[in-house]
Structure 1
């Protein structure tokens, strides 16, 4: 039962990867995509709104790519997810628009409402720094060992 769109999941993974980078170097989309197993062209489009919001910096050219512009401690998963999820997406009925009855009679509406409430609560209090810590402490996290490092604390 998927609660988040794939674009939100990809964004969380890519931002975690970038936050794990110990250096202040820009990382090309191709490398992020290759190391995380994500589609490269889709990833570039997915990260653009985070540049527009000041979460990431981007640079074109041979030494270009993306890097974090905000401290992971100051970025909640709710903020990340909100970029690609409409406000009502988490609450939509799993039967889709074909749901035959009113919401108060559909058993899936109540289940989805509770799941969405719980998920929203977790997203609100979990920061990107929490994911960085987790991945740093678990070598089996699936993130390439070259990506593991301390997040730069000097970010605004």
Structure 2
């Protein structure tokens, strides 16, 4: 679990917000939509930023959006089928090994940063968790 805590400290705000949003929509129940204003209040995500996140999640078909009095945002699939990895990919979070914690453009092979080996372990543990964990499990 230490690996996961370290990795969560590295998540960009967009990823954090997307996870908050998806879990809150799940908590609302599958039969009920929630509007953006209520969602912003419940998740503490600024409304302009929330719209950006919602757009990405709808575009990747993780959420459904309906206008009108019975409208709002709903999960597009059952929560037990939506993986954390799906959410992160929807907002453009890279799941590959390309990111160097030191910001080096080329980190690997013979030229790797001082944390390369340790960070690779952390990323691998996080990736495994994100691919195997659904939103109903968190």
Structure 1 length-normalised TM = 0.72
Q: CA deviation at 1:91?
A: 4.5
Q: CA deviation at 1:60?
A: 2.5
C-alpha RMSD of the superposition: 2.4
Q: CA deviation at 1:66?
A: 0.7
Counterpart among 78, 88, 94 of residue 86 in structure 1: 94
**Which stretches of structure 1, 4 residues or longer, exceed 4 Å deviation after superposition?**
98-105
The structure-2 alpha-carbon separation of the partners of 1:116 and 1:100, relative to structure 1 and needing over 3 Å to count, comes to: closer
Counterparts of 1:4 and 1:68, CA distance in 2: 23
Q: Which structure 2 residue ranges, 5 or more long, are not aligned?
A: 1-5
The structure-2 alpha-carbon separation of the partners of 1:100 and 1:76, relative to structure 1 and needing over 3 Å to count, comes to: closer
Structure 2 length-normalised TM = 0.80
What SS does the aligned partner of 2:61 have? coil
Q: Using the TM superposition, name which of 57-66 and 12-21 deviates more.
A: 57-66
- Residue of structure 1 equivalent to 2:126: 119
The structure-2 alpha-carbon separation of the partners of 1:73 and 1:101, relative to structure 1 and needing over 3 Å to count, comes to: closer
**Which structure carries more relative contact order (alpha carbon 8 Å, separation 6+)?**
1
- Residue of structure 1 equivalent to 2:80: 73
Q: Which structure 1 residue ranges, 5 or more long, are not aligned?
A: 132-156
Q: How many residues align?
A: 130
Superposed CA deviations along residues 79-136 of structure 1, whole A, max 9, x for unmatched, are 1111121343x651211137899765422112211110010011111111112xxxxx
Counterparts of 2:78 and 2:118, CA distance in 1: 35
Q: CA deviation at 1:63?
A: 4.1
